[in-house]
Each structure stands twice: as structure tokens, then as C-alpha cells.
Homo-oligomer: A and B are copies of this chain.
Amino acid sequence: MQLTTIREIFRNREKYLDKEVCVGGWVRSIRDSKTFGFIVLNDGTFFDTLQVVYHDEMENFAEVSRMNVGAAIIVKGTLVPTPAAKQPFEIQATEISVEGASAPDYPLQKKRHSMEYLRTISHLRPRTNTFQAVFRVRSLIAYAIHKFFQERDFVYVHTPLITGSDCEGAGEMFQVTTMDLANIPMTEDGKVDFSQDFFHKATNLTVSGQLNGETYAQAFRNIYTFGPTFRAENSNTTRHAAEFWMIEPEIAFADLKDDMMLAESMLKYIIRYVLEHAPQEMNFFHSFIDKGLLERLDNVVNSDFAHVTYTEAIDILSKNNDKFEYKVSWGCDLQTEHERYLTEEVFKRPVFVTDYPKEIKAFYMKLNEDGKTVAAVDCLVPGIGEIIGGSQREDDYEKLVKRMEELGLDREDYDFYLDLRKYGSTRHAGFGLGFERCVMYLTGMSNIRDVIPFPRTVNNCEL
């Protein structure tokens, strides 16, 4: 008999009620008396569990009753409504076969485990309620992002992971090599002889696909990337991972205003999609992980995002400097405490902060007419601070070259990038969304290690 999923049973219950069904899943809990027993079954396709009732008429009643939590079973029986109970229906089993027993030392007994402990068993933690919810929602967010851009005819571009350049010089990079580390070949003048490496040059793992992405926006007009990026930062915090995923859309014939409109509709789209497709999971987060989560997300979906310039924001913040550990003044970068104050206390909704001093932003951002600020934007959201950073790009060849010279960037490394300003340059803009930060935001999970299946952080690369 064909196996039905528990999701399918919950979704189309009318089709299955009072009929024979067959499901496979894992035992979440089991209790038995002399003549009958109850199994709470989860098959991973749906957050809610299915109750299975079995009786001693069953040939293997004893074997079934001896099962441990975590065992895999296949249950055949009738789905019957249970109007008096908490759950809407249960299976009256006629047959239960044990697909795979669970050894008595199964690490996930029916009790609450700490997040720290669960991190040590990253191969088993997706079997818990919390991580079932986190990783299903992570999957749905990823899909919502693709759906959003594809519905708008954006072209998905796979920018390279291994790179010979360092993009914006952002942070520490991982080196990639096939040379024997115990015996690195050196040139006569005592340098590493990269001509003997796989690519015949020094290579790193990418920190951003943006510059590559821009080349495709100048061909397809609207593109997005969605891929892994890497930072070898020695930061052991709840928000830093060495390997994480980023989404970087890039739009041609578009300015900073278009960029913000895109970011706002994308965020709203993702939230709506997840609320619609994972209501059980979102209720779980709201109840057990982050009280107030649903109101906060609701507020984001239903408000127009606020807009403020960096200069105005500094004005507001500096009047409240007594509230901050780091005091602000014009020219400084905003810390999370300032960002959260702006979005949570001042505007009480998401806010776009625009036009930052050029000194604290990347070389490729478009210089504003004041000559001091650039057309950059950060999107701040309650509960987290910055979730998106973007900018209009400098599309003027001369201005870009000048800025690169000021910063001492080697022009040869950016020939391809300058070409875009030489052959059919357009005003264009883009932004980056850190995928894990987005997952944390939507789930209320507070440690990045708990929204990545197998997190990589300083000193930690397990499984």
C-alpha cells in the first residue's frame, strides 16, 4: 500500500477520514497499558503529529510496545475523527511494522534539551520540534525568495565561489589551494609559487557576488544571486558564521528609490509567504521562542517602511546619546544599538536609512551631489537592526576611477568592472540580504548556529 504523508492527511482530511491509510514515520513518544497503546508519530512532512492507537489483537503488540523513542515504523489503519480530543483525528492501527528500531541510548529522549547540547548532535537535532520548525521555515524562505524574483522575471545568476579577486576588500578571506601545505613551493625570491597551484594564481572564497552580479544586470537588466559567501572573521558571536548564504539582486535602469521599493516588497512577500505556508511553525515560534514575533511581523507586512537620511538619523540619535554605549556623531558608523533605537523607538516600524558618508561605505557607491555622501541604504527592522544593505552604484567612469585611486585600489583588478561604465553604462542599484539573518528574523531564533544545518564558526567545522 502506498504511503501517505501526514501533511497530506492534514491538508485533505476529508479524503482520508474513515478510510484506510498507511503512513511511515518516527515515534515521538509511546505509552502502553496491558491491552492497548498510544504512539505519537511524526513523519517530518508536517509540524503536527499524528496519534496512533494500537491494540493487543496485533500479533507484534509486545514488540511494538517495547519500541524506543525515535524508532521508524509503518502504520496501517483507519483514520477516525476524535471530536472530543485535542487532535482532530487519530489512526486506529491494524498493522504496525518496525522499519528501524531505535537503540536505548537515543540522544533525543522525550524531554527538553538545551540548544547548546543540540548543537553537538547536528545530525539528529532536525528531529526535534524546534529544528523541524526552523529548517522547514528556512526552506520556505529560500523558495519564497526565488519565487518573488522569478515572478518578476529576474534572472538567477550563479556567481563564482572561488575567486581570484577580493571584491570590496571586505574582511578576512579563506584561501583555496591544492598545494601541499607541508611543502609549499616557493619562488627563488622567497614568495609562494602560485604558478604551481590549481589555478596558477592565489585564490580565495568569495565574500560577495555583487561585482559579478553587476555585469549580468548590464545584460539582463534585473538579476539576483543566491549563494554561499564566506568570512574568515575571528568573531565568536551569536550573529557571525564563517559560511552563510546571501541574496544579492541588482537592477539596471534603476536608482536608490527603486532599490528600496524592491527591498520592501521582497521582505513583505517573504513574510506573507511563510505565514501562509507554515502557520503551525510560526505559532510555535511565537509561543515558545520569541513572544511577540507574530505582531512584529504583522506590523512589518502592514506598514509602509519609514525613510530617513543618515544625517537626519544622526541628528535624532545624538540627542539621545545618553542612552547609548557608543555615542554618535556625524561620520560614525551606526551600531546595532543605534539601529534598533531608530526602528524600535523612533519609527516603530522598518526604516530605510540613506545617504551615508562616503568614508564608511564601499568604493562602488554612487557619490551624491553634496560630494560627501553616497547613495547607500540600510534597511533596519525591529528586533534585529540592519537586515539589508544596498546602494545605487557609481555609473560614471571618471568618478569611479577617481574614487578607486583615492582608496588605492589597483585598477587592473577592476578592468571588467570599469568596462561596464564604458560600454552602455546605466544607472543601477542593488542590495544584499544575509539569508541567515533573515531566517533569524522570521523565526525569532537568536543564535545563527541554530538556523544553519551544519554551522561553520571559528574552531568549529563538524560533520
Question: Which A residues contact B (CB, under 8 angstroms)?
Answer: 3, 5, 7, 24-27, 43-45, 70-72, 74, 99-103, 106-107, 122-124, 126-127, 131-132, 135-136, 138-139, 142-143, 146, 150, 153, 155-165, 172, 174-179, 181-182, 184, 186, 190-192, 198-201, 203, 205, 212, 215-216, 218-222, 227-228, 230, 232, 234, 242-243, 245, 252-253, 395, 416-417, 419-427, 452-454, 456, 458-463
Contact = CB atoms under 8 A, between A and B. Distances in A.
A101 B459 CA distance: 51
Given A155-B135, A174-B162, A243-B160, A45 B453 contact: no
B126 A216 contact: yes
B219 A127 contact: yes
Contacts of A132: 219-220
A123 to B, nearest CB: 4
Contact of A232 (B26, B175, B198, B227): B198
Nearest to A127: B219
Contacts of A186: 182
18 contacts: A24-B221, A24-B426, A26-B218, A43-B221, A44-B221, A72-B252, A74-B253, A99-B426, A100-B421, A100-B423, A101-B425, A107-B423, A123-B419, A143-B146, A160-B456, A162-B174, A181-B192, A182-B190
A449 to B, nearest CB: 12
B425 A135 contact: no
A74 B156 CA distance: 25
Residue among A70, A175, A221 with max Cβ neighbours from chain B (10 Å): A221
A42 to B, nearest CB: 9
Contacts of A234: 198
Given A44-B220, A198-B458, A232-B198, A453 B179 contact: no
B456 A162 contact: yes
Given A99-B425, A101-B425, A124-B215, 10 more contacts: A43-B253, A45-B153, A72-B426, A100-B421, A123-B416, A126-B220, A176-B205, A181-B181, A184-B184, A199-B461
A423 B102 contact: yes
A155 to B, nearest CB: 4
Contacts of A123: 212, 215, 416-417, 419-420
A297 to B, nearest CB: 21
Contacts of A127: 218-219
A187 to B, nearest CB: 10
A461 B164 contact: yes
Nearest to A131: B219
B157 A45 contact: no
A334 to B, nearest CB: 29
B253 A99 contact: yes
Contact of A142 (B156, B175, B242): B156
B178 A181 contact: no
